[in-house]
Structure 1
Amino acid sequence: MNYPRYACFITLIFFAMTANAQLQARYTVKAGKYARHNTIISVPGEAQKGDVYQLYLVNGDSKTPVPVQVSNGRFVWPLGDDLQAGQRRVFELWKNGKDDAPANPDDAVTVDNSAEGFTVKRGRKPVLFYQAAIKDVPPGVDTAFRRGGFIHPAYTPGGKVLTNIQPKDHYHHYGIWNPWTDTEFEGQEVDFWNLSKKQGTVRVNFESDRNYSVSGPVWGGFLQVQDHIVFGKGGPDKTAIKEELEVSAYGATKDVQIWDYNSTMACGTGSPITLKEYRYGGGFSIRGAEEWNNENSAVLTSEGKTRKDGDMTHARWFKITGELKGGKGGILVLSSPQNFNSPQPLRVWPEKDQHGQVFAEFSPTKDKSWTLEPGKQYLQQYRVITYDGDLTAEQAEAYWNDYAHPPVVDVAPARKIKK
């Protein structure tokens, strides 16, 4: 299981207790050198069946209940109000007491499963839709362009659509997606991106026992296995890459929506696959909203680059902001410093390309090849912040610092806490 980079992973030690409302641990969250805003805390821990956990913010002699979610081997809760650099905040975890955290249905994250895919919502507002089933193409378009395993729509907190699929200039563009372009597998050139070549594609694996979805008061999401398929030439198709795509969305954030997009890749056979140096492919790709063009939208990177000079540069984050139906909105994408070839190269369409339409991506192999070896796992992690209006470069940088340098969490188990 892959956990978001903002978390500080620690070991929870639980002790056998018979009385109700037993103190389990005290957590001290340290902001460190960065101010914290919209921060989510996550620590590993398993819940026993029937146990009820309650978290409290401790301030002197007062204790305020805080929503905490226990699922998928982790305890997750919102840090709450901003925490300035150098400051700390203390929480206590209790077990089998009354669950008296204030319920806020607008912050609960739910995942609705259907034959088509997963709808992730915060309260009653949509966050994103993951298309699992194969999406058909418009009449008259080559059926080779059909595929599933992508995100569209992705929304701003106010419900504005940020993505586009199957545009006439690129029928193989699918919202937010991540196929690889120039690869070599068992001596064969395979392009999983340009579907018209009919060399390969990406298919959702509905039968995997790794697939799951989670809903809860603090976070919700899903994991879906995606197979990167090489079409057989006179023989059976082969899975060259087996990918676990994990998407986790969070409630209790102010003004923005935060979700993580984590991809774990492994070889699908006993053969390696080389993701060859190429100008685009893999990583995190977004085809921007249909109404965006070079007059009503803008791209900015962590290095201050734009559509004029952003292509072929490296960055820690990029953001796209523009006019949408209902007003301005955008998307900020953060790349983990632990990703391959970090800070990663960018593919950004220049202003005059494709009539000004917007496409941007982190392309890890843009200037360096990457060979995946059998028996190993390769993790690519990205955080997405969507917003209405705009974010400043300073705000984007603060989000990246919080993601790349999560707060330290010190834990004191119950036996070490003075009563």
Structure 2
Amino acid sequence: MTLTTRSLLSSLLAAWCLLASPIAAAELQMTETDAAIEIASDGKSVLVYNKQSPPVPDGIDPIYHRSGFLHPVASPAGNVVTAAFPADHPHQQGIFSAWVRTNYDGREIDFWNLAGGVGRVSHERVVKTFTENESAGFEVDLIHHTVAEPKVDILRERWRITVQPTDGSYRCFDLQTTQQALTDKPLTVAKYHYGGVATRGPARWSLPSGKKAAAKASDADNNEPSEPISEIVDEHGHDRIAGNHHPTRWVTLSGTEGDDLVCITMLGHADNFRAPQPARLHPSMPYFCFAPCVTGEFQIAKDQPYEASFRFLVTDGKPDPAWIEQQWQAWCGDKAQ
């Protein structure tokens, strides 16, 4: 599907949402600085796109600096559902995009694991900002490039981010990505167990593992609270273990903030490459990604771009799976059949 067609689809769906809602949509505001673009709803932040890397916290290696990702992403109540520089895996930041095991012109390039110093994905430029049908958004270009010599810009990735109007009870925004080779040589994305567009939640949502898990189980035997700090569930009701690498149309990550439960749900469009794409659900960390590379290798070339669309729903409280299904059906329209 072309960007023009996708833009038209987004506009039509935004209009549908307005007609379907009995409550007036909240007003969206967009602010751009040298460092970031922020979109807010009635003065409350919805998301921030980082044109420049936020300051790297003390104790974190500066190699983990990153531009070109979404964080913070917040719920209507202001609960943040993403993380930047989590101490356990500081290369996983907010909502980001990268491939792990790739080959370009005989070189093995890892764009995901920044500590390797081989490749990374960086913000290049803002293409435009826009408002249409009461939605607000922007288009930006990111570059997938090598860090190690010889330095090469391999892919240009265009993000179109659109925040949709809602009744204020939830947040809704779309991420459309198009990746295209910048040289005459294609990038081969190898079969691998993760890679693609990812969502990373706060480090405090991480589950205990190993000895810590055993200690937690022991505490539970002593009548201590044993509710999970967070959970990941796919459209089939599968958890982190059963759902890992299973094709799915959507995934929900939920976690506790004080006494509150907050969730972010990521929907994959029916038109996506290899849809429904397999999802990598991490067994203990609050992280998942839609990973078409799980089922085999593919190439991204000048005349063979990679295109995908994702919708994000952010809620205070756990969303009803039936409601998520309705959202997916309305978003995909005829393609949902």
TM-score by length of 1: 0.70
Match for residue 79 of structure 1? 19
Match for residue 136 of structure 2? 220
Candidates 163, 172, 175, aligned match of 1:249: 163
Give the 3-state SS of the residue equivalent to 2:80 in structure 1: coil
- Which runs of structure 2 are paired with 1:60-139 in the superposition (5 Å)? 78-81=18-21, 107-139=26-58
Match for residue 47 of structure 1? none
- Which runs of structure 2 are paired with 1:290-309 in the superposition (5 Å)? 290-294=203-207, 295-309=228-242
Give the 3-state SS of the residue equivalent to 1:205 in structure 2: strand
Give the 3-state SS of the residue equivalent to 1:260 in structure 2: strand
Equivalent-residue separation in structure 2 for 1:5 and 1:317 (angstroms): 19
Q: In structure 1, what residue type is equivalent to 2:243?
A: G
Structure whose alpha-carbon radius of gyration is higher: 1
Candidates 28, 53, 78, aligned match of 1:159: 78
Report the Cα offset of residue 342 of structure 1: 1.1
Report the Cα offset of residue 5 of structure 1: 5.8
CA contact (8 A) 1:110 1:216 kept: no
- Which runs of structure 2 are paired with 1:175-254 in the superposition (5 Å)? 175-206=94-125, 211-215=127-131, 218-233=134-149, 235=150, 237-253=151-167
CA contact (8 A) 1:160 1:326 kept: no
- Which runs of structure 2 are paired with 1:291-330 in the superposition (5 Å)? 291-294=204-207, 295-325=228-258, 327-330=260-263
Taking a change above 3 Å as real, the CA distance of residues 341 and 179 of structure 1, as seen in their structure-2 partners, is same
Report the Cα offset of residue 142 of structure 1: 2.9
Which moves more between the two structures, 260-269 or 292-301? 292-301
TM-score by length of 2: 0.86
Candidates 291, 296, 303, aligned match of 1:375: 303
Which moves more between the two structures, 220-229 or 138-147? 138-147
CA contact (8 A) 2:14 2:165 kept: no
Report the Cα offset of residue 326 of structure 1: 6.2
Measured on the aligned residues, the alpha-carbon RMSD in Å equals: 2.6
CA contact (8 A) 1:8 1:406 kept: no
Q: In structure 1, what residue type is equivalent to 2:202?
A: A
Taking a change above 3 Å as real, the CA distance of residues 4 and 260 of structure 1, as seen in their structure-2 partners, is farther
Unaligned segments of structure 1, at least 5 residues: 11-28, 30-38, 43-76, 83-101, 409-419
Equivalent-residue separation in structure 2 for 1:293 and 1:140 (angstroms): 19
The alignment status of 1:272 with 2:186, answered yes or no, reads yes
Taking a change above 3 Å as real, the CA distance of residues 407 and 78 of structure 1, as seen in their structure-2 partners, is farther
Report the Cα offset of residue 275 of structure 1: 0.9
Aligned residues: percent identity?
24
Equivalent-residue separation in structure 2 for 1:407 and 1:139 (angstroms): 47
Taking a change above 3 Å as real, the CA distance of residues 327 and 215 of structure 1, as seen in their structure-2 partners, is same
Unaligned segments of structure 2, at least 5 residues: 208-227
Match for residue 215 of structure 2? none
Candidates 271, 284, 299, aligned match of 1:338: 271
Taking a change above 3 Å as real, the CA distance of residues 6 and 306 of structure 1, as seen in their structure-2 partners, is farther
CA contact (8 A) 2:76 2:169 kept: yes
Ranges of 4+ aligned residues in structure 1 off by more than 6 Å: none
Report the Cα offset of residue 78 of structure 1: 1.9
Match for residue 362 of structure 1? 290
Equivalent-residue separation in structure 2 for 1:9 and 1:308 (angstroms): 33
Taking a change above 3 Å as real, the CA distance of residues 112 and 216 of structure 1, as seen in their structure-2 partners, is farther
Taking a change above 3 Å as real, the CA distance of residues 312 and 140 of structure 1, as seen in their structure-2 partners, is same
Report the Cα offset of residue 367 of structure 1: 2.1
Candidates 326, 329, 335, aligned match of 1:398: 326
CA contact (8 A) 1:157 1:256 kept: yes
Q: Deviations over 1:210-254 (max 9, x none)?
A: x11124671101111000012352x3x211110001100012435
Equivalent-residue separation in structure 2 for 1:109 and 1:303 (angstroms): 33
Equivalent-residue separation in structure 1 for 2:132 and 2:245 (angstroms): 40
Give the 3-state SS of the residue equivalent to 2:293 in structure 1: coil
Equivalent-residue separation in structure 1 for 2:326 and 2:332 (angstroms): 10
Report the Cα offset of residue 303 of structure 1: 1.7
Task: Give the length in aligned residue pairs.
Answer: 315
Equivalent-residue separation in structure 1 for 2:85 and 2:159 (angstroms): 21
Q: Compare the two structures and name the one with the higher helix fraction.
A: 2
Equivalent-residue separation in structure 2 for 1:217 and 1:110 (angstroms): 13
Equivalent-residue separation in structure 1 for 2:316 and 2:259 (angstroms): 10
- Which runs of structure 2 are paired with 1:404-419 in the superposition (5 Å)? 404-405=332-333
Match for residue 72 of structure 1? none
Report the Cα offset of residue 361 of structure 1: 1.2
Q: Deviations over 1:248-270 (max 9, x none)?
A: 00124352111001111110111
